[in-house]
Amino acid sequence: MKRATVVVGLLVVVAVGLALSGAFAGPPAGEPSATVPEESLIAVDGDYRLWPYTSRSASVEGRTLAINVVVHADAETTRAAIEGGTEADWEETEGIESETTADAERVRAFVERDWADARSSTRYGYVEGPAGGVWLTETFELHDGAYLGVRDHVRAYESPDGEYTAIQAHEEYYDWFRLRHTVPGIDDPAVRLEDEFIHGRVDAEVRREHRGIEGGWSDGWLSVIELASLVTVAGALLGRRTRAAAVDLARRARREATKHADSAVLGAALGAVVVGVRAAGVGLELAYPSVPPKAIAGPLYLVLAGGVPALVVARSRECDPAAVALAVAAGLGTGFVLDFAALGVAVPPALVVHRIALLAAVGVVAVGRAADDRPVLVAGLLAWAVGLALPLADVI
């Protein structure tokens, strides 16, 4: 009776968690409109006013993220200023007492900066000039980081008269359960891009203008950069992504390892699967840059989606039901936490709830297998399958 109550409770957690996950939405799309509203356009420079958003389609209905940086230069000059040139040769200066450790790290960061062409879905920009409105595709895209890890992603749109380049900068990380990128925010990447010009010894004026931009995760402010000349030195993102450790979960796992070694080993293996998939994805992407990232992600996703329940079914049979349920939830949960911590991103609440639901599902699988209760086992596997299907269907 007690076991049935526990199982029912876990299944309720799964159902409620998956339902709540779909209730947390990202930035709202624009209101349906046949044309771009006149009042939403902003003056930047030259003859073309800017619609300060990007869109999934050449329409207002597909609105996604807000434009957050504008450079008063053409795209070629803007790209050269961001990327830097091969002539840049930074060295740490010795014998200067005023130089701090932070200064040395900043110089080293400039040298290690690695912008590269980005792969992504097409997003459209819109400008309106004397001859009417024009939908633009990206003039160029850059990213710093790994496609299957975490990266800053820059989309740039040059105005038709070349007077300015509008930039949409955002941070994104690859979510293995959604098989696509998740954007935690756009403010920090804009600040990091500003810092490249403020601290990167680039001959430029940087200021912020409040333009009242609403939606698309904008705070209403626009970073404006005036380039005085074409500079071949690019800065670096000064902010270091934080690393957090799940200390409490680690201690709990060690205590359980002493009492229930098999359960603890299984939990550790599940955590290793999550972390290993991320590490393998980033490693393979760096080792084989010509291979499309999704060709790498597909097989690794199968390892994650099928490997986790397969391990639980294979190794839970001789374990205590309560101990193995706790161990697999703690181990897999630690893997989730370490994965997000290594990326250093803010996790959207919807995905936190989704991961908790998956932990509950795998816990039910473990209980069913350990207790040799086939209906409970099937219920857990079904909950795991639903948990995988919802994000793929874009419900989460």
- Paired with 66 in beta bridges are 53
User: Which tokens sit at 223?
Assistant: 């970073």
Yes or no: say if 103 and 203 are a contact pair by the CB < 8 Å rule.
no
**Per-residue pLDDT tens over the stretch 23-38:** 444 444 334 444 888 8
For 158, how many CA atoms within 13 A lie in the half-sphere containing its CB? 14
Yes or no: say if 324 and 367 are a contact pair by the CB < 8 Å rule.
yes
Q: How far is CA 238 from CA 56, 172, 196, 218, 393, in A?
A: 31, 17, 8, 22, 37
* Per-residue pLDDT of the chain in tens (396 residues, 90 and over written 9): 455 555 555 555 555 554 444 444 444 433 444 488 888 999 998 899 999 999 999 999 999 999 999 999 999 888 888 876 333 332 332 333 334 444 444 434 433 445 666 667 889 999 999 989 999 999 999 988 888 998 899 999 999 999 999 999 999 999 999 898 999 989 999 988 888 777 765 578 889 998 889 889 898 899 999 887 543 333 333 333 333 344 555 666 565 555 568 888 888 999 999 999 999 999 999 999 888 988 999 899 999 999 899 999 998 888 888 888 899 999 999 999 998 888 888 888 888 899 999 999 999 999 999 898 898 999 989 999 998 998 888 887
Q: How far apart are CA 159 and CA 49, in angstroms?
A: 9
Amino acid 246: pLDDT: 47
Amino acid 242: pLDDT: 35
Q: How far apart are CA 388 and CA 29, in angstroms?
A: 25
User: Which tokens sit at 235?
Assistant: 């800065």
Question: 222 in helix, strand or coil?
Answer: strand
Which alpha helices (DSSP H) does the chain contain, by range?
Answer: 2-21, 75-83, 101-112, 187-198, 247-259, 261-287, 293-315, 321-343, 349-370, 374-392
Amino acid 343: pLDDT: 85
Amino acid 229: pLDDT: 54
Amino acid 77: pLDDT: 86
Q: How far apart are CA 361 and CA 378, in angstroms?
A: 11
Q: DSSP secondary structure string, 122-160?
A: --EEEEEETTEEEEE--SEEEEEE-TTSEEEEEEEEE-T
User: Which tokens sit at 366?
Assistant: 């473990």
The pTM assigned to this predicted structure is 0.66
Q: How far apart are CA 254 and CA 248, in angstroms?
A: 10
- Paired with 222 in beta bridges are 209
Amino acid 89: pLDDT: 33
Q: How far apart are CA 352 and CA 332, in angstroms?
A: 13
User: Which tokens sit at 9?
Assistant: 């409770």
**Rg, Å, the chain Cα set:** 25
Amino acid 26: pLDDT: 42
**Per-residue pLDDT tens over the stretch 28-74:** 433 444 488 888 999 998 899 999 999 999 999 999 999 999 999 99
Amino acid 225: pLDDT: 92
**Per-residue pLDDT tens over the stretch 91-112:** 332 333 334 444 444 434 433 4
For 393, how many CA atoms within 13 A lie in the half-sphere containing its CB? 10
Question: 227 in helix, strand or coil?
Answer: strand
